[in-house]
């Protein structure tokens, strides 16, 4: 079982090595002439105005909170989906009830206008 | 095998130290995600693949997003010096050492009996699903209700702050 993860490890190392080789090659091959324009943050496009770290809207946090809840739901959907063929009709009904309970949350969210962006 | 364990442990400690010592809270969050990945690697070494999957899905996928949003929403002043608690390095180190000593004490005092037979088979996820959906069916549905309560609570709190 661990050997199967060895393949993932080789992929990971290959990915890192490929990125490093590309970076080093482009650094070796490119001319190293410095200029003001080249070192500006946006070589083309508009200059930014004001600070970059602006305060975000609080609504993002609501989405993140609800996302965590639905993410935890996915954790339980996942083993059910993997074992779907060995589980019977009872498990299917059970998961249906589980999902319906959580869809109630989505319905409440919709009803309260939490999904609206203003 | 033991080398991989040390590799993941080293990565975990390095990322965790970076999280605590970084002055920029956004960098701290990024390094924390790295430590979550290292923990997932340790779970895989322990053959707890489902736990590793949950670790990446929930902690890297959702908790990290929550932390980053929390940073972006509540930040005041410059983000370059936003990780204020890292000024208390000495107090933090002392409390970490005390906590470590407590952990070591309880680890030494606990006996870890080796299982007489291998408890888990090849397909732990299928076993988890079967146990969860048959033996613990009521607990499973109660969990659904708990998640519903969490969603409704989040919406009510989120609406109040508007």
- Condensed to tens digits (0 to 9), the pLDDT of residues A24-67 reads 999 999 888 888 877 777 767 777 777 777 777 777 778 888 88
What pLDDT score was predicted for residue B44?
87
Q: What is the pTM of this model?
A: 0.77
Rounded average pLDDT over A82-109 = 89
Residue holding tokens 């004490």? B105
* B37 close contact with A: CB closer than 8 A: no
Q: How many CB pairs under 8 A join A and B?
A: 142
Contact state of B66 with A97 under an 8 Å Cβ cutoff: no
Alpha-carbon distances of B31 from A59, B26, B27, B49, B104, rounded to whole Å: 25, 9, 6, 23, 26
Joined tokens for residue A70 = 């639905």
Taking residue A40's Cβ as centre, other Cβ atoms within 10 Å add up to 10
CA distance A33 to chain B (A): 30
Chain B residue numbers touching A116 (CB-CB < 8 A): none
H or E segment and range at residue A3 = helix A2-29
CB A67 within 8 Å of CB B69: no
Residues in chain B where the model's pLDDT stays below 70:
75-84, 86, 116-122, 161-162
Given the cut 0.95, state whether the ipTM is greater than it. no
- B 41-100 residues inside an 8 A Cβ radius of A: 44-45, 47, 50, 53-54, 57-58, 61-63, 65-66, 69-70, 72-73, 75, 78-79
Pick the residue from chain B with its C-alpha nearest to A70: B147
What angle (nearest 5°) sits at the alpha carbon of residue A109, between those of residues A108 and A110?
90
Joined tokens for residue A103 = 């869809």
What angle (nearest 5°) sits at the alpha carbon of residue B39, between those of residues B37 and B44?
95
* CA nearest to B75, candidates A25, A10, A53: A53
Rounded to whole angstroms, the Cα distance separating B71 from A55 reads 9
What pLDDT score was predicted for residue B118?
63
Domain definitions of chain A by residue range: 2-29, 58-111
CB B155 within 8 Å of CB A66: yes
* B116 close contact with A: CB closer than 8 A: no
- Condensed to tens digits (0 to 9), the pLDDT of residues B74-118 reads 766 666 666 667 678 888 889 999 999 999 999 999 888 877 666
């Amino acid at each position: 079982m661990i050997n199967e993860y060895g393949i993932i490890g080789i992929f990971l190392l290959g990915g890192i090595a490929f990125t490093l080789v590309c970076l080093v090659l482009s650094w070796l091959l490119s001319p190293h002439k410095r200029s003001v324009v080249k070192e500006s943050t946006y070589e083309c496009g508009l200059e930014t105005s004001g600070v970059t770290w602006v305060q975000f809207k609080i609504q993002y946090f609501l989405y993140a909170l609800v996302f965590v809840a639905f993410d935890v739901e996915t954790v339980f959907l996942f083993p059910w989906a993997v074992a779907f063929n060995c589980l019977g009709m009872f498990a299917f009904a059970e998961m249906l009830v589980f999902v319906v309970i959580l869809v109630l949350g989505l319905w409440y969210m919709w009803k309260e206008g939490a999904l609206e962006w203003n | 095998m033991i080398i991989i364990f040390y590799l993941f442990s080293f990565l975990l400690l390095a990322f965790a130290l970076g999280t605590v010592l970084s002055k920029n809270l956004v960098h701290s969050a990024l390094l924390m995600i790295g430590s979550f990945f290292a923990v997932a690697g340790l779970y895989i070494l322990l053959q707890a693949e489902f736990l590793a999957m949950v670790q990446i899905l929930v902690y890297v996928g959702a908790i990290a997003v929550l932390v980053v949003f929390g940073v972006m929403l509540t930040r005041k002043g410059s983000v370059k010096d936003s990780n204020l608690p890292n000024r208390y390095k000495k107090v933090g180190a002392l409390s970490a050492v005390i906590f470590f000593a407590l952990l070591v004490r309880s680890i030494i005092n606990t006996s870890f009996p080796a299982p007489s037979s291998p408890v888990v088979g090849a397909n732990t996820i299928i076993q988890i699903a079967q146990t969860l959906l048959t033996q613990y069916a009521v607990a499973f549905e109660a969990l659904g209700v708990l998640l519903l309560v969490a969603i409704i609570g989040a919406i009510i709190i989120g609406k109040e702050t508007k």
